[in-house]
A and B are shown apart, each in its own frame.
Chain A
Amino acid sequence: MSRNPFSKSKNPQLLILVIILVAIFLLFGLLTKGKIFELHSLQAIAFQLPLLGLLTLAQMSPMLTGGIDLSIVSTANLSAIIIALSMTQFNFSPFLAIILGLVLSLGLGVLKGTLVAFCSIPAMIATLGLMIFIRGVALVITKGYVIAGFPQSFLFLGDGTILGIPMPFIIFLIAAAFMSLILNRTPFGIQLYLLGSNPTATLFSGVNNKRVIFRVYLLCSFLAGVASIVMTARFNAAQAGYGESYLLLTVLACVLGGVNPSGGFGKVGGLILSMVVLQVVATGFNLLGLSSHLASALWGIILVSVILTNRLIFARET
């Protein structure tokens, strides 16, 4: 029996990412004449990364089970709107506002989880419908208006730093550590990975598949809620329809980070690497005065190249 290809491929994906990251850093280092290594730029990266990063973490668990959540951005948006309204309309403290936002996102998670796990609706369709529904609710509530004007204590979460490290980044790191812990060190995490790979076998082995999947969508919505905190704090505003373009990027970032879209494989570390790669490209382009659109284009090309390279390396083994 040939030596198993997979124990090699879990690492090569990460290895390729590290190589790309180093290469990109070097490339931009050269092009920007070292500006990218300055604290200022690194901080910029650390400020920008977390929003996409948190949303990508959110997308990770559904993708690990072979599903997808198309509604994470609209969930984050609605949650952001609730947070914003709590502070502006009802003058709640930022703390309470955040709690409300998280409660809402958990509530949406319950709805999602019920539809996908207990009603057995395919994840793509259920979350597609929900995305549109939630977007609509956001529109009905805000009537398209922007809600802005938050207390400074709240905004600190978006643009403050602790020991030079941006707050959003700290939040992101905590969330990433949390995810990593759940995925790697809890029974739920083990069940999740196995389920993503072969739900029939886990069912036969006594795993309550429905409960696991339900929790997956709870987890994912919770993280979307956390993302909404960062989003509101950084934009200093909330509006229906914000961040829509991020949705497909979360899928891109997940796959780039090694998440297998059919489920079963992918680690938080890989995700962080892929986020950093994407963000460095964006910031690098920014420093060079190049359009951010070019950065997006490059992201698409990077992903396809990584996939093609993977395919070429492992073509013999499949």
Chain B
Amino acid sequence: MIGREAYLVNKKIFQQTEFYLGIIIVALSFFLTLINPKFLTLENWFDMLRSNTFLGILALGELVVLISGGIDVSFTATATIAQYIMGLIITTYYIDNVLVAFLIPIPIGIALGAINGALVYYTKVHPVIITISTLNAFFGFLMFFSGGKWIYNFPPSFRSFSRLQVFSLVNARGVEYGFSIFILLWIILAIFTWMILKYFPVGRKIYAVGGNLEAARRAGFNIFRLQLFVYCFMGALAGLASFVNASLNQMIQPNSLVGGELDILAAAILGGASVFGGSGSAGGAFLGVLLIAIIKNGLILMRASAYWHEVIMGAIIVAAAGISAYQQKAKAKREGEILVP
């Protein structure tokens, strides 16, 4: 589990993850359309994308943490706290301003992320341990202080924002549907993440740290700042995602998000991020979530029991990992390496 770095030759799940994911998505879509033509409609896709925005944004954050060689399982608690405080503020003070609501969760997420980052750096203990602890601490305190109370009855602007669409169309039955603004938010964040990882030095340094921490240290990279950045980035995205979640549901239930951490981790890994660090891409994280969304959606359209979703998801993850492990072994054999311990 934890950092057996140097021996592994190839840490990605697929050779070029995005490519494989793309093929699988296309194939799956084709197959599903045959079964139920309603699959390949804009209405369906807009709906599907909208309901997975929360997952998608969080996967982007987790991706960045994974690339740096770390991991974060506390973001659900971070998200819950961020949205709860936002909810409290805008309902208590009746702030009828969506922008304010949008901006509140972000610094909260960053602050909580900073705690993670600092602890990870100073204790030098594996981030899984740290973030499990902060998950408990954050969530415990939140539930204690909030008493588990739900928040609803948001100001009108908050309500109407959730219905905002970038453009809308009318379907055959005269019902309106549209490209939700949240999907746009997700796409913007994905592009933003992609740019940071590819064109900004901080992004490249994150890959470097994930690839070889000791070398990064020796090269003079400021490890503290980088780790802080990574966890704060996750925190910020957790805040944003929590806004989306609160907005879509028009309700805040403090105990609804916590428990779903591992699903988001799975999405990021499916998208090509390695638990050992050093690899992964925003495109992959996007496609990974898209794949999961299609599977869920496909099951619904096939009128299959929603219970099968997890069975299939789990099987896919195991299969994907199995293929990758096999590829690594085959490569080692080809290159005449003697041992794969």
Tell me if B's interface is mostly helix, strand, loop or mixed: helix
Mark out the residues of chain A between 127 and 156 whose CB falls within 8 Å of any chain B CB in the assembled complex.
Answer: 128-137, 139-140, 143-144
Alpha-carbon distance between A218 and B114 when the two chains are bound, in angstroms: 39
A254 → chain B closest CB, angstroms: 9
Looking at the assembled complex, report how far the CB atom of B76 sits from the nearest CB atom of chain A, in whole angstroms. 11
- Alpha-carbon distance between A66 and B5 when the two chains are bound, in angstroms: 13
CB-defined contacts of B140 to chain A, threshold 8 Å:
293-300
* Contact, CB under 8 Å: A136 / B313: yes
In the complex, which residue of chain B has the Cβ closest to the Cβ of A296? B140
Min CB distance B264 to A, Å, is 11
> For residue A199, which residues in chain B have a CB less than 8 angstroms away from its CB?
341
Q: Which residues of B have CB within 8 Å of A66? A: 1-2, 4
Interface of A is mostly: helix
- Tell me the count of chain B residues lying within 8 A, CB to CB, of chain A: 59
Bound form: Cα–Cα A79–B228 in Å: 41
Considering only CB atoms, which chain A residue lies closest to B136 in the complex? A300
> How many whole Å from B119's CB to the nearest CB in chain A?
6
Can you pick out 24 interface pairs between chain A and chain B where the beta carbons lie within 8 Å of each other? Answer: A67-B1, A70-B262, A125-B318, A129-B318, A130-B318, A131-B314, A132-B263, A133-B313, A139-B307, A144-B307, A199-B341, A251-B128, A252-B129, A252-B136, A255-B125, A261-B125, A293-B139, A293-B141, A294-B144, A297-B139, A300-B133, A301-B133, A304-B123, A304-B134
Task: Given contacts A115-B318, A209-B341, A307-B123, list 11 more A-B pairs with CB under 8 A.
Answer: A120-B328, A122-B321, A129-B317, A129-B318, A132-B314, A255-B125, A261-B2, A261-B126, A295-B140, A297-B139, A300-B140
Cα-based distance from A126 to B314 in the complex (angstroms): 9
Q: Tell me the bound Cα distance from A115 to B322 in angstroms.
A: 8
- The total of chain A residues at the interface (CB under 8 A) is 57
How many Å from the CB of B121 to the closest CB on chain A? 11
Nearest 5 CB-CB pairings of A with B? A133-B314, A297-B140, A136-B310, A129-B317, A136-B311
Residues of A near B314 (CB, < 8 A) are: 129-136
Give A contacts to B, CB under 8 Å.
66-68, 70, 115, 119-126, 128-137, 139-140, 143-144, 199-200, 203, 209, 244-245, 248-249, 251-252, 255, 261-263, 290-291, 293-301, 303-304, 307-308, 311
Q: When the two chains form the complex, which single residue of B141, B275, B313 contacts A132, counting CB atoms closer than 8 Å?
A: B313
Question: Shortest CB–CB separation between residue A270 and chain B, in angstroms?
Answer: 15
Closest CB in chain A relative to B217 CB, distance in Å: 14
Specify the chain B residue showing the minimal Cβ separation from A120: B325
User: Does B309 sit at the interface, judged by CB under 8 A?
Assistant: yes
Task: Contact check, A248 vs B325: say whether CB atoms are below 8 A apart.
Answer: no
Query: Is the pair B144, A297 in contact by a Cβ cutoff of 8 Å?
Result: yes
Q: Please, which residues of chain A bring their CB within 8 A of the CB of B89?
A: none
B322 near A119 with CB under 8 A, answer yes
- Give the CA-CA distance A295 to B140 in the complex, in Å: 7
Least Cβ distance of B295 to chain A in Å? Answer: 12
For B130-151 the 0/1 string (1 means CB < 8 A from A) is: 1011111111111110000000
Taken together as a complex, chains A and B put the C-alpha atoms of A255 and B4 apart, in Å, by: 19
Q: Are A133 and B318 in contact (CB under 8 A)?
A: yes
- Whether B1 lies near A68 (C-beta < 8 A) is yes
CB nearest neighbor in B for A263: B2
- Smallest Cβ distance from A289 to chain B, in angstroms? 12
Say yes or no: A291-B123 contact (C-beta < 8 A), given A126-B321, A261-B128.
no
Residue among B119, B266, B276 with the highest chain A CB neighbour number at 10 A: B266
Rounded to whole angstroms, the CA-CA distance of A32 and B312 in the bound complex is 50
Please give me the residue from chain A that is nearest to B314 by CB atom.
A133
Please name the residue on chain A nearest to B258 by beta carbon.
A245
Question: When the two chains form their complex, are residues B141 and A297 in contact, meaning their CB atoms are under 8 A apart?
Answer: yes
B137, A126: Cβ atoms closer than 8 Å: no
A296-B140, A301-B133 known; A203-B309 Cβ under 8 A: no
Known interface pairs A119-B322, A121-B321, A129-B315; A297-B137 also in contact (CB < 8 Å): yes
A residues within 8 A CB of B307?
Answer: 136, 139-140, 143-144
